[in-house]
Amino acid sequence: MAAPVRLGRKRPLPICPNPLFVRWLTEWRDEAASRGRRTQFVFQKALRSLRRYPLPLRSGKEAKILRHFGDGLCRMLDQRLQQHRSSGGDHAPSSSGAKSPALEEPPAGVPDSSMPVPSQAKVGSSSSYWPARHSGARAVLLLLYREHLNPSGHSFLTKEELLQRCAQDVPGVAPVSARPWPALRSLLHRNLVFRTHQPARYSLTPEGLELAQKLAESEGLSSLNVPIGPEEPSGEEPEVPGSASAELGASEGRVQQPLLELRPGEYRVLLCVDVGEAKGAGHRPELLRQLQRLHVTHTVRKLHVGDFVWVAQETRPRDPARPGELVLDHIVERKRLDDLCSSIIDGRFREQKFRLKRCGLGRRVYLVEEHGSVHNLSLPESTLLQAVTNTQVIDGFFVKRTADIKESAAYLALLTRGLERLYQAQSVREVFARQLMQVRGVSGEKAAALVDRYSTPASLLAAYDACATPKEQEMLLSTVKCGRLQRNLGPALSRTLSQLYCSYSPLT
């Protein structure tokens, strides 16, 4: 009796993100097995590790972050990849390096090596796909496109958020959360939407972004209700970088705040700690206890990017409950070694670096904190060292390594003190004294004596203008008493300063 036939939809298997590397490792393993060499087991372990990695690799050197990939094996992959390029093999990458060598069919328009790519590339053509009006697929694409354009958004939505917003915009197309969603599954299958993290986060692929833009143009951008703020003004803000009020963790759809300008003495530097860094056992987490011990002014709030940022907060706001804030140009991402291992394995490592590079802050710090023995981690130490080195050399982050959480808190306290000194209110007298001390031979005592007599550059220039001859200008400051011994400044320094402030031609 024949077995009963089970009917149903067959779920397509995901395409391997690194098919070239898998093919070559398989060939080397089979060749070693046919010759009876023990290297077959090395290739088998590396092949198993590569198949578990969900992201495409662009060179053999990048594969070193995986387990069982040593220098020799990475070198073999790079040599084979170079031969593949020179021979013009299938889907050989261009010389510009914009496409992934290990991925035979990389998504178009991905110029950044740190940009997150679909962890499970789907089969199916999307070139001629056009979702029907009032369909679930169309609603999902437009919602993700709106989130992509929203300056205060995350560039992704969870399934619960998609269901909630679809129920508001297009009632009847979204199922209940416990049931599968054919529209979302179809977009994943056509490689228009990709999924990351657990719980799942859904974002547009480059192909999905292009299709969503066409859908938005066909319906008009006004139908998206995208809250796009005004362009940043071109005027300089010397006191605090930033051009608009920014409340970290602000909810979506908030009314655009008016332009905020903070002058010296009107703000304080405040460290913002992500809520994820404040979780832990005990009444107060250890990191917050250390910051409090070091007398660091901080607050805990939800940060969409990074773990620590600094803001300039109004000291005398109109509304004490909601003081205005400007984000300073510094951001820190903190990783313990165990968390770094897990983020490399599940793909968060590249995605977080991509979001940090796109956040708009120029000074990005990657804080790597030791935790326990490196022999108890899921990845070897050499792999972690290679990943940290790539973060600094290739991605342009400043990498700071600390021994424990106390040293991490001390480093954050040091950064906070430095920012307070950088953005603190300085008088003209203080700046003038700093300027004088740049001249060789002018010490702090001599600069203090000079600003006691001439408190501003304008007063010194007025005294030079009152001199009748150039010789009198050169000797103007020679008799200024300096230090506890009240010695004269001297003719040599007086002549140097007169040349600095009275000469219009280049100094010799």
The residue annotated as part of the active site, out of 62, 147, 207, 274, is: 274
The residue annotated as part of the active site, out of 239, 307, 395, 474, is: 307
Q: Are 457 and 494 in contact (CB under 8 A)?
A: no
Q: Is 90 one of the annotated active-site residues of the chain?
A: no
For residue 27, CA distances in Å to 37, 42, 228 come to 14, 13, 53
For 168-175, the CB contacts below 8 A with 24+ separation are 169/139, 169/143, 170/134, 170/136, 170/139, 173/134, 173/135, 173/136, 173/139, 174/136, 174/139
Q: Where are the alpha helices (DSSP H) in 53-152?
A: 71-86, 136-149
Q: Is 307 one of the annotated active-site residues of the chain?
A: yes
**Alpha-carbon dihedral sign for residues 63, 64, 65, 66:** positive
CA dihedral 45, 47, 49, 50 (to 10 degrees): 160
Closest CA to 15 of 66, 83, 91: 91
Separation CA 493–CA 484 (nearest Å) = 19
Separation CA 360–CA 299 (nearest Å) = 22
Residue tagged 């908030």 (tokens): 254
Q: Is 71 one of the annotated active-site residues of the chain?
A: no
The residue annotated as part of the active site, out of 169, 277, 338, 339, is: 277
Closest CA to 21 of 67, 54, 57, 55: 57
Closest CA to 83 of 99, 65, 60: 60
HSE-up (13 A, CA, CB side) for residue 414 = 7
Q: Which amino acid is it at 8?
A: G
Q: Which residues participate in catalysis according to the annotation?
A: 274, 277, 307
